[in-house]
Amino acid sequence: MTIQIRSMRPEDVEICGMICYEAFTGIAEKHNFRPDFPGPEMAIELMRMLLENPGAFNVVAESDGQVIGSNHLAEFDAIRAVGPITVDPNGQAKGAGRMLMEAVIERGRSARGIRLLQDSFNAASLSLYASLGFDVREPVVIIEGVVKGEVPSEFEVRPIRDDDHESCAELCRSVHGFDRFNELMHVPPMPHPFVALRNGRITAYAAAPQFWAVNHAVAETERDMQALLLGAGNQCEHLSLILPTRQTALFRWLLKNGMKVIKPMTLMSMGEYQEPRGCYLPSVGY
């Protein structure tokens, strides 16, 4: 089998979406986890959005004139985010996944770092990423549920405004050493980002607490994060988050408030990384 890597084209969208749906559904069902996509239409739309996004680098693997997989690299900010990477279930373990990963790694070499999240039960992808130089950083879980409650009196939780973005970027830099300013600016109008203000100052924000894949959140303290999630939960039907489980007190607090773990994942990085100096939630990219 001869495999070539090339740029993604509009005519690739549907087949890449179908491969993405089938690959993620197959591995999830094999391990008795809920599939990420309820149907192929959502995966196809994701591929279309990635191709049309000027902040994304998109490549496909092709064999004998047939597309057998794709990979993507989000390039909004200083840290690049990999994924989703998927290969046709009938063409796996033949080198396409490694070649797709090598393509985005080469693309991201000039960045401060590259990160990804992978399903922890997928031993093949964990091994591939580690062999390519990614380091395991955090055990995380997708956690979902309804969180309601009284926000402490010193906090105000509200939807983000345009004049909040620089304060959010500064907060992110204080926690991670980098900001996600451009990514935050490109979050779709729905789901809406939220900020928490303690005594009038922004001390936490969440990009999309209703949808784990595009959400990320940072907070000065765990108390700030709890107030943010309470306030957002009061204004949303449910919360859907990726949670680093080493934040044990926050993990227990969310479980106590009725949220349930959906599946385990692993945060991995290549390049620059510093231990967060605050409370945080990653997105599916980083």
> Pick from 117, 147, 285, 124: which is nearest to 226 by CA?
147
Give residues with Cβ within 8 angstroms of 41, minimum separation 6: none
- Residue 127 has φ and ψ, to the nearest 5°, of -65, -40
Please tell me the distance from the alpha carbon of residue 161 to that of residue 195, in angstroms, as a whole number. Answer: 9
Instruction: Quote the DSSP letter at residue 162.
Output: G
Neighbours of 127 (CB within 10 A): 10
Contact 281, 244 (CB under 8 A): yes
Are β-strands 66-74 and 279-281 bridged in parallel, bridged antiparallel, or unpaired? unpaired
**What pLDDT was estimated at residue 191?**
65
* CB contact at 8 A, 203 and 221: yes
Alpha helices (H) along the chain:
13-30, 40-52, 96-107, 123-131, 165-176, 181-185, 222-235, 248-256
DSSP code, position 43: H
Question: For residue 68, what are the β-bridge partners?
Answer: none
Question: What integer pLDDT is reported at residue 185 of this predicted model?
Answer: 86
Q: What is the pLDDT of residue 236?
A: 93
Q: Map out the domains of the chain with their CATH numbers.
A: 3-111 (3.40.630.30), 143-281 (3.40.630.30)
Which residues lie below 8 Å from residue 11, measured CB to CB, with a gap of 6+?
none
Residue 252 · residue 258 · CB < 8 Å: no
Along the chain (286 residues), what's the average pLDDT of each consecutive run of 10 residues? 93 98 95 94 96 95 95 96 95 88 97 97 96 98 96 97 96 96 79 92 97 95 98 95 98 97 98 95 94
Tell me, what DSSP letter sits at residue 241? E
- Report the SS3 class of residue 276: coil
Q: How far is CA 52 from the centre of its chain?
A: 19
Cβ-in-10-Å burial (0-12, 13-18, 19+) of 218 comes to buried
State residue 189's pLDDT score.
Answer: 60
